[in-house]
Amino acid sequence: MSTPPPLPPSGDVPPPLPGAAPPPLPLPTPTKPPETREPAVTKEPPKGKLFPCLNCGAKVEFDPRDRALKCPYCGHTSSVEDGGAEVEERNFNEYASKLVKGNVGGIEGRSTQTRCGGCGAMVLLEDKVVTDSCPFCSTHLENRPEAVEGMLRPESLIPFKVDLRAAREEFDSWLGGLWFAPTELKKVANLGQLAGVYLPYWTYDAMTYTRYHGMRGDDYQETEYYTDKDANGNEVQRSRTVTKTNWYSVSGEVQHFFDDVLVCGSKSVPEHLISGLEPWNTNELEVFQDAFLAGLKTERYAVDLKQGLVVAKEVMQPTIRDLIRRDIGGDHQRIESTDTRYLGVTFKHCLLPVWIANYHYHEKLFQILINGRTGKVSGERPWSWMKIIRLVVIVLLAAGLIAALVAAFSGKGRSPRAAANEPVPSAVMSERNSLAGVYRSGAEFETDHTGYRRLPAG
């Protein structure tokens, strides 16, 4: 693969993630001259992916003769492959600068919205629906709808594959596997409120070019001599092998294409529950149709297009830093500075299927999410402290009983040697001593548990 042309001028550099870089450490003077490397392309964009000209940044045009995208200013070309029927990607810059006419407003059949007074979710209401409840907290939605304005319509979704019955089975299975769950949990959890919801998501594609400066550390072994004292206190010379590190400066560039970085547009569900539903297969996205929403609910995104890209860049950063460490190589790596450019950013506004169960236990709201495609469960659960305390008491009682039984059986099973070592009463000792004299004189005798004694005459 040929070396890519120079990058366009750098734009705004995203702020570094908190805690992403290691704390500064004093480094030895580099033992090698700085090294500058050729760009490392870890993943290229798919064939036919449209990007600004990588040479000058201008918009490219289609050249029918070469069947390629050609820059009218610098002549740089890139081939175009036939593409199948796929969900359309939208240019981020076009939509971020203005709301594109024709793609703004409510979903057909859901032209009004109302904000939940319990959790703050903005629920899109079906037309002609008089009353409803919030799918995220079960709060009754007041009948104060307002017209949907300034919203980018979703253009794709993943339809539900797990139906209500299967969702309830997954719910029951999850509850049955909980340790120390309250006995009344199944009664409190109102399965009648299990609601099918389409959550708003953004997906982002971007080709990233990251220039970096860092340090590479290569370990080597060295024999070290030192003076020590032996067992007699004499000084002796000993040796040991120590590991040392040579550090030198490295500069380079890593290139990586990020495909379908998912960012949830909802704030009505905790982030850890949302992430627990992953992974999502974005290859299953279909062109949006109103029929997919029949009998289900959906929410207007609370994280807008620009805010979503900020989150997506944060998601990309760990991958970029791992690629940089891999490119630096060696036994140790330190990243001192990075400059990432995001080119050809596109997005999709899509809806993903989720079953949501809400229940209150001791006046606290708990939520369970079920992936409407795979059936994977991600939920919060209460704990029964009475069950935990009861188990601890049972364990302690069982341990005490076992200890008592062990002590009793060890007493009954004493060996003859152990019995012989026990203290002997003084009267018994006196008789033993007198009989010992008889034994020394050659008289017949017998033994019993008290020691030696003379046999009766005759």
pLDDT band at 296 (very low <50, low <70, confident <90, very high): confident
Structure tokens at 342: 């995001």
Residues 38, 328: Cα–Cα separation, whole Å:
12
Distance between CA 75 and CA 68 in Å, rounded? 11
Give the pLDDT of residue 162.
Answer: 85
Tens of pLDDT, residue by residue over 341-389, are 999 899 999 999 999 887 777 777 778 889 999 999 887 766 655 666 7
Mean pLDDT calculated for residue range 148-173: 83
For 165-204, b/e burial (b = at least 16 CB within 10 A) is eebeebbeebbeeeeebbeebeeebeeeebbbbbbbbbbb
**pLDDT at residue 24 is higher than 70:** no
Residue 235 has a pLDDT of: 87
Strand partners, 201: 264, 350
* pLDDT mean over 46-65: 57
Q: Name the β-bridge partners of 248.
A: 216
Report the alpha-carbon angle 392-398-404, nearest 5. 140
* Predicted local distance difference test score (pLDDT) of residue 280: 94
User: Which band of pLDDT confidence, cut at 50, 70 and 90, is reported for residue 65?
Assistant: very low
Q: Is 349 exposed, middle or buried (0-12, 13-18, 19+ CB in 10 A)?
A: buried
Q: What is the pLDDT of residue 171?
A: 79
54-63, 148-157, 173-182 — most confident range: 148-157
Tell me the pLDDT tens digit for each residue of 67-114: 556 676 677 776 655 434 567 888 888 887 766 655 666 677 676 777
**Tens of pLDDT along 313-325?**
999 999 999 999 9
Q: What is the mean pLDDT of the chain?
A: 75
Q: Which of 255, 215, 207 is nearest to 337 (CA)?
A: 215
Is pLDDT larger for residue 278 or for residue 431? 278
pLDDT, average across residues 139-160: 78
Q: What is the mean pLDDT of residues 7-19?
A: 51
Is it the case that residue 442 has pLDDT exceeding 80? no
* β-pair type (40-43, 112-115): unpaired
Distance between start and end Cα atoms, the chain: 119
Arithmetic mean of pLDDT, 13-25: 54
pTM for the model: 0.66
pLDDT band at 221 (very low <50, low <70, confident <90, very high): very high
The answer on pLDDT for 441 being more than 90 is no
Give CA–CA dist 140/136, Å, rounded. Answer: 11
Asked if residue 212 has pLDDT above 50, the reply is yes
* Residue 25, pLDDT score: 58
| Confidence at residue 395, expressed as pLDDT on a 0 to 100 scale | 81
Query: Residue 223 forms beta bridges with which residues?
Result: 241
Q: What is the pLDDT of residue 64?
A: 40
For residue 274, CA distances in Å to 191, 194, 352, 415 come to 20, 17, 11, 66
Regarding predicted confidence, which is higher, 146 or 223? 223
Q: Give the pLDDT mean for 307-314.
A: 95
